[in-house]
């Protein structure tokens, strides 16, 4: 069979679709590599981290931070790289910065690195975003946030469930 113009068009169109869908797929690594071509500002990197961390994993109540809060922050940063902390600012004179300073000092006392980063504070939500050292550089390099897990395999027709 001799390829016609129509065959060539469909082959080119299929190649275009394959390239474009892979390039913009959230499961593809090429999107991460494209970030190296464009410089990301610190503010954009901080927003990327803010959007990646879905909800606060640590809360400081009306009694303020204790040693266990510092230990929890240290462990959470080891596991998650970035952590949102919901703060009742009453013990800290209404200041999120004071709350961060107290929590950071407690985490460092419990063995966390001294270079923990304050990424962002949202006064309206009373949330502080704290990250492991170098997280902004990881975002700029494209290594954070990690890619989403692949979708679960769809059941094929040959894998029918047995009925009992």
| Ordered structural domains, the chain, with CATH | 42-141 (3.30.110.60)
Cα–Cα dist 88/68, whole Å: 16
Cα–Cα dist 118/29, whole Å: 28
Q: What is the pLDDT along the chain (164 residues), one digit of tens a residue?
A: 555 655 445 455 554 454 444 444 444 444 444 444 458 899 999 999 999 999 999 999 999 999 999 999 999 999 999 999 999 999 999 999 999 999 999 999 999 999 999 999 999 999 999 999 999 999 999 998 988 888 888 876 555 555 55
Cα–Cα dist 163/144, whole Å: 44
- CA 89 to chain centroid, in Å, comes to 25
The pTM for the full model equals: 0.69
Beta-bridge mates of residue 130: 83, 118
Helix crossing, 67-80 with 96-109: angle to 10°? 80
């Amino acid at each position: 069979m001799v390829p016609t113009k129509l065959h060539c068009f469909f082959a080119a169109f299929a190649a275009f679709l394959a390239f474009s869908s892979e390039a913009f797929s959230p499961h593809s690594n090429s999107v991460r590599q494209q970030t190296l071509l464009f410089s990301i500002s610190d503010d954009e990197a901080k927003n990327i981290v803010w959007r990646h961390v879905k909800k606060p994993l640590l809360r400081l109540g009306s009694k303020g931070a204790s040693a266990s809060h510092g230990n929890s922050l240290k462990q959470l940063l080891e596991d998650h790289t970035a952590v949102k902390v919901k703060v009742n600012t009453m013990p800290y004179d209404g200041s999120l910065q004071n709350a961060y300073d107290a929590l950071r000092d407690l985490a460092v006392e419990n063995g966390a690195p001294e270079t923990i980063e304050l990424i962002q504070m949202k006064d309206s939500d009373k949330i502080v975003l704290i990250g492991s050292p170098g997280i902004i550089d990881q975002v700029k390099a494209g290594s954070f946030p990690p890619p989403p897990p692949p979708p679960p395999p769809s059941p094929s027709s040959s894998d029918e469930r047995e009925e009992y």
